[in-house]
């Protein structure tokens, strides 16, 4: 039953979800959903650049996303425009430039639908290696910056006084996010990738009492959503990205059905 392409897609998806869960927790804690969208939208520009200079798509997307992260990091400190305006500029600017560039290659056999919504047929052996290799590096980086990043999330001032270099941790996290999004584009697509970051962590929040529990729980919830969504996609012939997000949403709603668990005060 399980064709080879489906196994590859499943393995890639599980690899992505295991990183996207913990990374997504910081998206939720730091209210960075729009920042994630901006990186995702810039991916189309990354695709155009990858086509222009003949790079692997994931590498092109990653490099472009890192440039966007660095631009955002710089602009936030130098410019007086509000953060969401800057994000809007970069997000839609990147998307538009990417689409215009791609229109110069009408002969390119580029599956725009697949880019926007994900395509499980598209996962090659090389992609799988890129996802698992990159994912392992990303998890290692997250482990390394965990304490500074968490402290910076609670209070940048406290983190600075404790000499944890919160700015550095935030920059590393931005690059990590670029890597996760670049790796996930093929399976989930540009438009829905942020859902894979935030829905799993939102799902497990009320069952957890520490940041570390929530990160691990989000990884598990993400793996369930990806596996369920990809199997549904293969059986029902639905696009993979939306199928994964619908599954994640269904899991989220099911966990909301029960009586809300109050935070237990140990006194």
Partner 1 sequence: MGVRRGERWIVRHVDITVDRGQLIYLIGANGAGKSTCAKAILGLLDIDEGTIERMSSLEVGYVPQRLALNPTLPLTVRRLMTLTGRFPKDHIESALAAVGLDRLGDPPVTTLSGGEFQRLLLARALIHRPDLLVLDEPAQGVDTAGSGVVLDLIQGIRRDLRCGVLLISHDLHAATSTGDDVVVLVPHEHDEPPPARPDPPAHLSRREARKL
Give residues in contact with partner 1 (CB under 8 A): 28-32, 35, 72-73, 76-77, 82-83, 147, 150-151, 153-162, 164, 167, 170-171, 173-174, 202, 205, 208-211, 213-214, 263-267
In whole angstroms, the minimum distance from the beta carbon of 20 to partner 1 comes to: 17
Alpha helices in 104-155 (DSSP H): 112-117, 125-154
In angstroms, the CA 42 to CA 37 distance is: 8
71 or 121: CB nearest partner 1:
71
Considering the complex, what minimum distance in angstroms separates the CB of residue 241 from partner 1? 25
| Residue with smaller CB distance to partner 1, 52 or 158 | 158
What is the closest distance, in whole angstroms, from the C-beta atom of residue 264 to partner 1 in the complex?
Answer: 8
Give CA–CA dist 15/57, Å, rounded.
Answer: 18
**Residue 88 phi, psi (nearest 5):** -60, -45
Using CA atoms, how far apart are residues 156 and 208, in angstroms rounded to an integer? 24
Q: Among residues 101 and 141, whose Cβ is nearest to partner 1?
A: 141
Q: In angstroms, give the least distance from the CB of 62 to partner 1.
A: 18
CB of 183 to partner 1, least distance (A): 20
Is residue 47 within 8 Å of residue 61, measured between CB atoms?
Answer: yes
| Beta-carbon contacts of residue 191 (< 8 Å; ≥ 6 apart) | 40, 116, 117, 241
Rounded Cα distance between 126 and 156, Å, is: 39
CA 12 from chain centre, in angstroms, equals 14
- In whole angstroms, the minimum distance from the beta carbon of 72 to partner 1 comes to 7
> Closest distance between partner 1 and the C-beta of residue 124, in Å?
32
Task: Give the side-chain half-sphere CA count within 13 A for 10.
Answer: 14
Long-range contacts of 50-54 (CB under 8 A, 24+ apart): 51/102, 51/105, 51/108, 51/110, 52/101
| Element holding 54 (H helix, E strand) | none
Q: How far is CA 79 from the centre of its chain?
A: 26
Tell me whether residue 102 or residue 179 sits nearer to partner 1 (CB atom): 179
- Taking the least distance from each CB to partner 1, the nearer of 3 and 79 is 79
Q: Kindly tell me which of 108 and 162 has the beta carbon lying closer to partner 1.
A: 162
Of 130 and 164, which CB lies nearer to partner 1 in the complex structure? 164
């Amino acid at each position: 039953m399980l064709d080879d392409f489906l196994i590859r897609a499943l393995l890639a998806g599980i690899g992505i979800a295991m990183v996207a869960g913990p990374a997504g927790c910081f998206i939720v804690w730091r209210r960075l959903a729009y920042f994630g969208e901006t990186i995702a939208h810039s991916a189309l520009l990354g695709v155009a650049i990858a086509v222009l200079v003949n790079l692997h798509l994931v590498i092109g997307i990653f490099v472009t996303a890192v440039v966007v992260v660095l631009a955002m990091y710089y602009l936030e400190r130098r410019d007086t425009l509000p953060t969401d305006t800057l994000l809007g500029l970069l997000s839609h600017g990147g998307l538009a430039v990417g689409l215009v560039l791609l229109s110069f290659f009408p002969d390119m056999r580029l599956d725009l639908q697949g880019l926007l919504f994900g395509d499980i047929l598209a996962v090659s052996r090389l992609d799988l290696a890129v996802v698992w290799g990159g994912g392992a590096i990303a998890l290692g980086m997250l482990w390394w910056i965990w304490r500074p990043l968490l402290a910076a999330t609670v209070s940048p001032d406290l983190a600075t006084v404790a000499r944890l270099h919160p700015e550095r941790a935030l920059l590393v996290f931005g690059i990590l996010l670029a890597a996760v999004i670049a790796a996930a584009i093929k399976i989930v697509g540009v438009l829905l990738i942020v859902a894979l970051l935030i829905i799993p962590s939102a799902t497990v929040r009320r069952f957890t009492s520490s940041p570390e529990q929530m990160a691990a729980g989000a990884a598990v919830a993400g793996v369930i959503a990806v596996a369920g969504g990809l199997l549904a996609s293969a059986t029902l012939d639905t696009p993979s990205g939306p199928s994964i997000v619908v599954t994640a949403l269904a899991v989220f709603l099911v966990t909301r059905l029960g009586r809300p668990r109050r935070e237990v005060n140990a006194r």
